[in-house]
């Protein structure tokens, strides 16, 4: 976008940045209809300008649609129903800031993928049992509480686990599932015993 257009949107960029960075609800981020009401119907263009400004700081504006089927080019009505966040652009930087070990991140990936496989919700005890096969038992509860505290999963009063806002904003769920399925396939193939080839006949031997 040209410098002239960025200048025209300068005031709106400041306002939209304040709305996105200031936590006004229990869940971070701002709904599209809120931005529409505050800034007008051109707020998607203002978001693009803000995204350009955030890029040098390794941050980006992330759009999360709550509806499963969204057109390739979302309409204004679809954007009004979405939620917008500011997140770190570089996953490696994100991990470094969080200070998590690789096994903690692996546990998070397993937890998220398991909840997805259960259509978005599952019992905490089932996840604890699954994680107990991957990481030391004493870390299971601590890790789950950490995932909840950081907004990747949420837990209700019945002990049911769901995906929370940060997973929706930061995790490519389809890519995660594909990666885990690929890793599981490779593991299975590696574990399969090699078939013995029939012994070759010695051409020097005679009947």
pTM equals 0.57
pLDDT in tens, 152-193: 899 999 999 999 888 887 777 777 777 766 766 665 666 565
Q: Which of 47, 71, 89 is the last residue of a domain?
A: 89
Does 188 fall in a domain?
A: no
Does 76 fall in a domain?
A: yes
Does 34 fall in a domain?
A: yes
The range of the structural domain enclosing residue 150 comes to: 97-180
On whether both 7 and 85 belong to a single domain, the answer is: yes
DSSP state of 56: G
On whether both 115 and 172 belong to a single domain, the answer is: yes
Number of neighbouring beta carbons within 10 Å of residue 6: 15
Give the total number of structural domains in the chain.
2
SS3 percent helix, strand, coil of the chain, rounded to 5, is: 55, 10, 30
pLDDT in tens, 56-113: 777 788 888 876 667 778 899 999 999 898 877 765 555 554 567 778 888 888 898 8
Q: What is the Cα–Cα distance from 37 to 76, expressed in whole angstroms?
A: 12
Does 104 fall in a domain?
A: yes
């Amino acid at each position: 976008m040209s410098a002239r257009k960025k200048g025209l949107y300068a005031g709106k960029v400041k306002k939209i940045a304040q709305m996105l960075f200031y936590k006004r609800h229990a869940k971070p981020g701002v709904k599209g209809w809120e931005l529409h009401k505050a800034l007008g119907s051109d707020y998607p263009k203002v978001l693009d300008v803000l995204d350009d400004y955030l890029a040098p700081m390794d941050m980006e504006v992330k759009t999360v649609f709550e509806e499963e089927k969204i057109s390739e080019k979302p309409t204004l009505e679809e954007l009004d129903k979405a939620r917008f966040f500011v997140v770190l652009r570089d996953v490696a930087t994100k991990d470094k800031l969080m200070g998590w070990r690789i096994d903690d991140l692996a546990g998070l990936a397993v937890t998220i993928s398991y909840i997805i496989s259960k259509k978005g919700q599952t019992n905490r005890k089932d996840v604890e049992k699954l994680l107990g096969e991957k990481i030391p038992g004493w870390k299971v509860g601590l890790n789950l509480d950490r995932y909840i505290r950081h907004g990747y999963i949420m837990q209700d009063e019945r002990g049911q686990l769901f995906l929370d806002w940060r997973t929706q904003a930061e995790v490519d769920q389809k890519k995660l599932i594909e990666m885990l399925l690929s890793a599981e396939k490779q593991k299975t193939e590696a574990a399969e015993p090699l078939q013995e080839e029939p012994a070759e006949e010695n051409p020097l031997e005679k009947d």
